[in-house]
Amino acid sequence: MENRKYVDVVMNRKSDKTTFFVIFSLILSALPFVASAYQIDTHALLTDETISFYNAHSDNDLPSDARAFLIDGTRREDDAPRWMNHFYDPIHERGLSYDPKINPEIPTGDWQKSKEWAEDGDNQNKLTYKVPATIASILTAVERWKISEITSKTDFTWREAIRHYVNGDTEQAFFTLGHILHLIQDTSVPDHTRNDPHPGDSPYENFAGKYNLSNVDKNLTDKLKTKSLIELKKLDEYFNGLAKYSSNNFYSKDTIGIQTGFSIPEQEYVSESNNYFYGIKRDENTLRKIRGIRGGSN
């Protein structure tokens, strides 16, 4: 009987975590900077909005103190060199990889797909990642003390988030879950789903960077009014679905044209405005989106 009770607790807690996790692709697809490379403070904003959206659509609000740990975990996933594993190209089934068709001058090497990195504790525990943190924590001294047991560790996988939660270590669980949130957020970025390392030259990075906890998109609440939670069965399904949408419907700077190895997106027609030509394509939601821009003649 006691064993059955324990199993019920484990499954209920796991279900709660999964329910919380499923809203990321929805939030990201609604944000105005979906085709962007996210800076650390933008990741913090995405996580904050995710929490608010979840609380507004769930019968069980997250604990009030969970917000800080989730946001800090999201930021800390960009500690070097973890970010090299934040790419997933669903068309060619690869992580960040050297591809002379895209960036012949950048010897990136080959790194793990983000969806595998999210669940590979063995890789995350390698000495490569056991280096001093490069990103400062935003937690208070008391909050840092609550997760002090794991601050020197490097395994922030989905399995570890669930394990901490089942054991009642909720602060550690939410901090670890923040790392997973970061990976899902990056999966909405075409640079990350089209194997484009974009070292400082993503046209969208500066635009996305203006959105942070101190500068929120004021139209976001209205954009999310008709949205609801999305629940899938496996973590892998969130990576696959969002990565395919991002890769198939948006260009990155260095992956425009079939010569880069990507045959889509393909425009349906061209529209001209103010001496610029815009390639337009209808997505599965029948919304017209800009696929590419080039300068027009005077």
Average pLDDT over the chain reads 81
164 pLDDT more than 70: yes
Closest CA to 114 of 97, 102, 135, 127: 97
Answering whether pTM is above 0.85, one says no
With beta carbons less than 8 A apart as the criterion, state whether 17 and 162 touch.
yes
- Dihedral class, residue 75 (left if φ above 0, else alpha if ψ from -120 to 50, else beta): alpha
236 pLDDT more than 50: yes
254 pLDDT more than 70: yes
E runs forming strands in 100-251 = none
With beta carbons less than 8 A apart as the criterion, state whether 168 and 223 touch.
no
In the chain, the percentage of residues whose pLDDT exceeds 90 is 46
CATH of 2-250, one of 1.20.58, 1.10.3470, 1.10.20, 1.10.575: 1.10.575
Which token pair is 131?
Answer: 């280096």
How far lies 184's CA from each of 81, 239, 286, in Å?
A: 18, 6, 24
**Which tens digits make up the pLDDT trace of 166-175?**
999 999 999 9
253 pLDDT more than 90: no
- Average pLDDT value for residue range 203-218: 79
Domain borders along the chain are 2-250
With beta carbons less than 8 A apart as the criterion, state whether 78 and 40 touch.
yes
E runs forming strands in 206-268 = none
* pLDDT for residue 39: 83
* pLDDT for residue 233: 87
**Which tens digits make up the pLDDT trace of 266-295?**
877 777 777 777 777 776 655 444 444 445
* pLDDT for residue 33: 35
Q: Count CB-CB contacts under 10 A for residue 184.
A: 26
**Which tens digits make up the pLDDT trace of 72-129?**
999 999 998 999 999 999 999 999 999 999 988 888 899 999 999 999 999 999 999 9
* pLDDT for residue 217: 82
- Average pLDDT value for residue range 164-186: 95
Residue 84 per-residue DSSP state = G
Taking every pair of Cα atoms in the chain, the longest distance, rounded to a whole number of angstroms, is: 79
If you compute the radius of gyration of the chain from its CA atoms, what whole number of angstroms results? 20
* pLDDT for residue 284: 61
